[in-house]
């Protein structure tokens, strides 16, 4: 199952992605071997957005991002 939420306000946009998949161990660093996380990180930096990413074996994946509109 995937749960996707998007919030918009006059000040920012927030995105939350949650799934109940198999997850993975973030401590071993293997998740960085592919291009997926590298692409996400570079895009977040390009627009100066903040993000949090977490996962654990058997616990799925959780990703949150926030972009604050420039003043």
**Domain of 25: which CATH number?**
3.30.565.10
Torsion of CA 18, 21, 43, 38, to 10 degrees: 150
Position 31 confidence tier, pLDDT thresholds 50, 70, 90: low
Residue 14, domain extent: 2-68
Return the ∠ at Cα 18 (arms to 5 and 29), rounded to 5°.
135
Cα–Cα distance list, 43 to 8, 39, 40, 59 (Å): 19, 6, 5, 26
- Give how many domains the chain has, as a whole number: 1
For residues 25-42, give the mean pLDDT: 81
Q: Read off the pLDDT of residues 55-70 as tens digits, 9 standing for 90 and up.
A: 999 999 999 999 999 8
> What is the SS3 assignment for 26?
helix
Q: What is the mean pLDDT of the chain?
A: 91
Return the ∠ at Cα 63 (arms to 6 and 54), rounded to 5°.
160
């Amino acid at each position: 199952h995937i749960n996707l939420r998007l919030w918009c306000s006059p000040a920012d946009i927030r995105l939350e992605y949650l799934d109940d998949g198999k997850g993975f161990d973030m401590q071993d660093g293997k998740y960085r071997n592919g291009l997926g996380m590298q692409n996400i990180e570079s895009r977040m930096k390009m627009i100066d957005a903040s993000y949090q990413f977490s996962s654990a074996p058997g616990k799925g994946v959780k990703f949150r991002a926030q972009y604050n509109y420039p003043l």
